[in-house]
């Protein structure tokens, strides 16, 4: 490339010469987008369980934490699928900012879900006998 060269960005993934790139990226984007939606619902349940303290608060907190862990699994699946799709064409320094953001988001989903379940088990031990 010279100084007068213009970079042309295209959205046609078939030009990348990677077999299955079109379908693979559709799958990866769908799984990661679904993970974000599930995480939003999980965080909403965590917030509602704190704002509306009722008999079901513990259940809402647990379900929110489980949804966030589910979003971690889906997000990790998307990241690993992306790696497997481009395994022959990527280098450590060749990852984009989007990839690193998704990688960190998956890790934070894991930490948030596990800490939510741990906090719930500390404040309400599962072995404690409850009065009906």
Residue 9 lies in a domain: no
Residues 56, 42: Cα–Cα separation, whole Å: 15
Does position 1 have pLDDT exceeding 50, yes or no?
A: no
Answer with the residue of higher pLDDT: 73 or 89: 73
Predicted structure pTM score: 0.75
* Tally of structural domains, the chain: 1
- Domain of residue 111 covers 20-130
**pLDDT value at position 132?**
47
pLDDT in tens, 57-78: 888 888 999 999 999 999 999 8
Predicted confidence at residue 99, as pLDDT, reads 77
Among 6-15, 18-27, 107-116, the minimum mean pLDDT is found in 6-15
Is the pLDDT reported for residue 85 higher than 60? yes
């Amino acid at each position: 490339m010279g100084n007068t060269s213009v970079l042309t960005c295209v959205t046609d993934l078939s030009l990348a010469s990677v077999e299955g790139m079109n379908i693979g990226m559709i799958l990866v984007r769908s799984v990661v987008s679904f993970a974000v939606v599930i995480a939003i619902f999980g965080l909403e349940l965590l917030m509602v369980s704190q704002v509306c303290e009722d008999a079901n608060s513990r259940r809402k907190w647990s379900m929110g934490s489980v949804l966030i862990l589910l979003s971690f699994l889906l997000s990790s699946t998307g990241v690993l699928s992306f790696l497997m799709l481009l395994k022959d064409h990527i280098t450590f320094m060749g990852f984009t900012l989007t990839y690193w953001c998704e990688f960190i988001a998956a890790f934070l989903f894991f930490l948030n879900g596990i800490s939510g379940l741990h906090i719930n088990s500390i404040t309400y031990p599962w072995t404690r006998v409850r009065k009906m």
